[in-house]
Structure 1
Amino acid sequence: MGRAFDIVGFDLDGTLLDTSASLTRAVNYTLAKAERPPLHIDEVRPMIGGGAKRMLEKGLEASGGYDPEDMRRLYPILLDFYGKNISEGSVPYPGLIDALDRLEADGVRLTIVTNKFESFAVKLLDEVGLLGRFAAVIGGDTMGKGNAKPSAMPIREMIVRAGGGTAAFLGDSIYDMLAAKNAGIPSIAVSFGFLMGPVEELAADAVIDHYDALIPTLAKLAGRS
């Protein structure tokens, strides 16, 4: 049947990989430095997606209140700890590897667009053995300040770096869906990600509950089924 899209892009945290364990460890390590109580992993999951700074801001709010001075002191601590422990407990979602294999066999170019720093994204993907699969890895800082998702700029750059052509994008947050919409490409929401609310509220063009559904969903979006 051939590929439905030339390029398929993925968000990273909560879409490609379940990184909630490593991020929760980093948040709680940092909160302990401020003598704050630890947060449960279920509390941290909805805080993920807007980058490390936003995650820490939410963590401070949830553990006793946000203070700018605390933020300035603790943010470098969070980044240092996370960078040193970035892949610990981070695993691909069920069915992902098979889906990537099938896409690659069809000649699809795979990409990553995340609001995580590009250096962290590359390090994480390398440590879990997936970096070589992706034609482009674009982080929240790649396009300059203020140009992370939901801006269309990183999605457009993703398409350029992957050689051009038709594209679709998968994610688990409103930032992902808006970025795809702003760039004029179809979006797929993953219901198993780090959702802040019901997946229907993301207004994606399609929703998948497991990676087994990705290939047929892409075909439907491309009008091939």
Structure 2
Amino acid sequence: MPTDFNLSCVLFDLDGTLVDTAPDLIACMNKAFRHHGFPMVDPEAIKPFISFGAMAMIKDCLGDTATAQEQDAILTSMLDFYQDNIAEHSVFFTGILDTLTEIEARDLKWGVVTNKRERFTLPLMEALQLTGRAACIISGDTTGHPKPHPEPMLEACKRAAVNPLECVYIGDAPHDITAGKNAQMKTLAAAYGYLKPDDQPETWGADALITTPAQILTWIDTALCR
């Protein structure tokens, strides 16, 4: 840890890092498959693709068995179902709520930067009673570019009134780490998230690899007590 690093804000990816949204996303996708006459899929097989968006989930499941038009129709249905069931079964990863409380107790700000669209991000944050606690909430369509572009990261800093050089970003996909690095933030790779079997998070270039949310606090305390 560089001796000149001053931590002032902890930023999180949403799906697969802050919240386990897989149960709702996969349930709505399977409902859309059934609605359009396609077989449902094993939730565990598709979970690693959640961090790459709904269409990536659909394409991985269907491959060449559905036309582009059919995939688009399934996507529309899935998102409509999801909007109506935004937090039916989604839960915090074990230890996340305690981690947020401890971050606040250390007088640090925290926020969310996700590629999820505002249509879903804002109602989900509200349902989880996080809206009033977060210093910023940035979605995939809040700025002109989603991650890994640095624009959403920099917008988060602007809204939270912090310097990017004093932030750490935590995510469970390579584009999360790239986004943080592009904005000159420290980065933590969340290996407890939605990783694919062939993912090697230790090669993503993050400043540290964490296997549980509790390890976020260990990293923070090291940064604060350097």
Deviation per residue, 1:92-131 (Å, 9 max, x gap): 1111111111111122111101111112111111112222
**Counterpart contact for 2:174–2:201, Cα < 8 Å:** no
| Structure 2 partner of 1:25 | 27
SS in structure 2 opposite 1:143?
Answer: coil
1:154 to 152, 155, 158: 152
CA contact (8 A) 1:22 1:86 kept: yes
Partner of 1:12: 14
> Percent of aligned pairs with the same residue?
33
Per the alignment, residue 119 of structure 1 pairs with: 119
- Between the aligned partners of 1:47 and 1:211, the Cα distance in structure 2 is 21
Structure 1 gaps, min length 5: none
State the 1:206 CA deviation: 0.6
In structure 1, what residue type is equivalent to 2:154? R
Q: CA deviation at 1:154?
A: 0.5
Whichever residue aligns with residue 141 of structure 1, its letter is D
Aligned counterparts of 1:137 and 1:113: Cα–Cα separation in 2: 6
Residue deviations 1:134-176 (CA, integer Å, cap 9, x gap): 11111111113xx101111111111111012311100000110
Q: 1:186, CA displacement in angstroms?
A: 0.9
Change (3 A) 1:187 1:70: same
Q: Which deviations, in whole Å up to 9, do the C-alpha atoms of 1:40-91 show, x marking residues without a partner?
A: 1111211111222333333332xx5352111222221111000001101100
Alignment match, 1:182: 182
Bigger mean CA offset, 193-202 vs 73-82 = 193-202
Q: Helix, strand or coil: the match of 2:37?
A: coil
Mean Cα deviation higher: 105-114 or 52-61: 52-61
Residue in 1 that maps onto 2:169:
169
Q: In the alignment, does 2:55 pair up with 1:83?
A: no
Amino acid at match of 1:135: A
What code does the residue aligned with 1:92 have? Answer: F
- The answer to whether the Cα contact below 8 Å between 1:152 and 1:182 also exists between their aligned partners in 2 is yes
Q: Within 1, Cα distance between the matches of 2:208 and 2:61?
A: 31
TM-score by length of structure 1 reads 0.90
Are the aligned partners of 1:9 and 1:110 in contact in 2 as well (CA < 8 Å)? yes
Deviation larger for 197-206 or 95-104? 197-206
Asked if residue 39 in structure 1 is aligned to residue 41 in structure 2, the reply is: yes
State the distance in 2 between where 1:70 and 1:122 align: 28
Whether the aligned pair in 2 keeps the contact of 1:47 and 1:59 (CA below 8 Å) is: no
TM-score calculated relative to the size of structure 2? 0.90
Q: Does 1:138 align with 2:177?
A: no
1:84 & 1:20 partners in 2: Cα distance? 15
Q: What runs of 5+ residues in structure 2 fail to find an aligned partner?
A: none
In structure 2, give the amino acid aligned to 1:40: D
Give the match's secondary structure for 1:89. Answer: coil
Greater than 3 Å deviation, 4+ residue runs: 222-225
Aligned length: 218
Aligned residue type for 1:108? L
Write the distance in 2 (CA, Å) between the matches of 1:107 and 1:124: 25
